[in-house]
Amino acid sequence: MMRALFLRVIIGTCTAISLGVSAANAQSVKPKSPGEIAAASDRIARVNEDCRRQARAQHLHLLKRYRFMRDCKRQ
Protein backbone atom coordinates (compact mmCIF):
# COMPACT_ATOMS: atom_id res chain seq x y z
CA MET A 1 0.00 0.00 0.00
CA MET A 2 2.69 2.47 1.02
CA ARG A 3 4.92 1.39 -1.85
CA ALA A 4 2.14 2.03 -4.41
CA LEU A 5 1.54 5.51 -3.03
CA PHE A 6 5.25 6.26 -3.10
CA LEU A 7 5.51 5.11 -6.71
CA ARG A 8 2.55 7.28 -7.73
CA VAL A 9 4.11 10.33 -6.12
CA ILE A 10 7.48 9.69 -7.79
CA ILE A 11 5.90 9.10 -11.21
CA GLY A 12 3.77 12.23 -10.87
CA THR A 13 6.76 14.33 -9.87
CA CYS A 14 8.88 13.04 -12.76
CA THR A 15 6.04 13.68 -15.21
CA ALA A 16 5.56 17.24 -13.98
CA ILE A 17 9.28 17.96 -14.24
CA SER A 18 9.57 16.52 -17.74
CA LEU A 19 6.53 18.49 -18.94
CA GLY A 20 7.98 21.69 -17.53
CA VAL A 21 11.34 21.12 -19.20
CA SER A 22 9.79 20.29 -22.57
CA ALA A 23 7.56 23.38 -22.42
CA ALA A 24 10.55 25.60 -21.65
CA ASN A 25 12.52 24.16 -24.56
CA ALA A 26 9.63 24.54 -26.98
CA GLN A 27 9.33 28.28 -26.33
CA SER A 28 12.91 29.23 -27.19
CA VAL A 29 13.31 29.74 -30.92
CA LYS A 30 16.86 30.65 -31.79
CA PRO A 31 17.79 32.45 -35.00
CA LYS A 32 19.70 30.23 -37.41
CA SER A 33 20.96 32.31 -40.33
CA PRO A 34 23.54 35.09 -39.99
CA GLY A 35 20.92 37.66 -41.03
CA GLU A 36 18.51 36.51 -38.32
CA ILE A 37 21.28 36.53 -35.74
CA ALA A 38 22.30 40.08 -36.68
CA ALA A 39 18.67 41.26 -36.58
CA ALA A 40 18.13 39.66 -33.17
CA SER A 41 21.35 41.22 -31.87
CA ASP A 42 20.31 44.66 -33.13
CA ARG A 43 16.87 44.28 -31.53
CA ILE A 44 18.41 43.35 -28.17
CA ALA A 45 20.85 46.27 -28.38
CA ARG A 46 17.99 48.69 -29.15
CA VAL A 47 15.94 47.41 -26.20
CA ASN A 48 18.96 47.65 -23.86
CA GLU A 49 19.73 51.19 -24.97
CA ASP A 50 16.10 52.27 -24.65
CA CYS A 51 15.87 50.84 -21.14
CA ARG A 52 19.20 52.43 -20.21
CA ARG A 53 17.99 55.84 -21.36
CA GLN A 54 14.75 55.49 -19.40
CA ALA A 55 16.66 54.52 -16.24
CA ARG A 56 19.01 57.47 -16.71
CA ALA A 57 16.06 59.85 -17.21
CA GLN A 58 14.49 58.61 -13.97
CA HIS A 59 17.83 59.01 -12.11
CA LEU A 60 17.77 55.41 -10.85
CA HIS A 61 20.84 54.00 -9.15
CA LEU A 62 22.12 50.60 -8.06
CA LEU A 63 19.37 48.19 -7.05
CA LYS A 64 16.46 50.24 -8.38
CA ARG A 65 18.25 50.63 -11.71
CA TYR A 66 19.02 46.90 -11.90
CA ARG A 67 15.39 45.98 -11.19
CA PHE A 68 14.12 48.55 -13.67
CA MET A 69 16.45 47.26 -16.39
CA ARG A 70 15.43 43.66 -15.71
CA ASP A 71 11.72 44.45 -15.87
CA CYS A 72 12.11 46.75 -18.87
CA LYS A 73 13.92 44.07 -20.89
CA ARG A 74 11.17 41.53 -20.16
CA GLN A 75 8.48 43.70 -21.71
pLDDT in tens, 3-14: 777 667 778 776
Residue 47 falls within a domain, yes or no? Answer: yes
Q: Is residue 22 part of a domain?
A: no
Kindly state whether residue 4 falls inside one of the protein's structural domains.
no
Domain tally, the chain: 1
In a domain, 1, yes or no: no
Domain membership flag for residue 74: yes
pLDDT of residue 62 exceeding 90: yes
The predicted model scores a pTM of 0.57
Per-residue pLDDT tens over the stretch 19-53: 665 555 555 678 889 999 999 999 999 999 999 99
Per-residue pLDDT at 2 = 74
* Any domain includes 16: no
CB 31 within 8 A of CB 39: yes
pLDDT for residue 72 is more than 70: yes
| Residue 35: inside a domain | no
- For residue 67, being part of any structural domain is answered with yes
Q: 73: which residues sit within 8 A by CB, 6+ positions away?
A: 47, 48, 51
Cβ proximity of 64 and 54 under 8 Å: no
Range of the domain at 67: 41-75
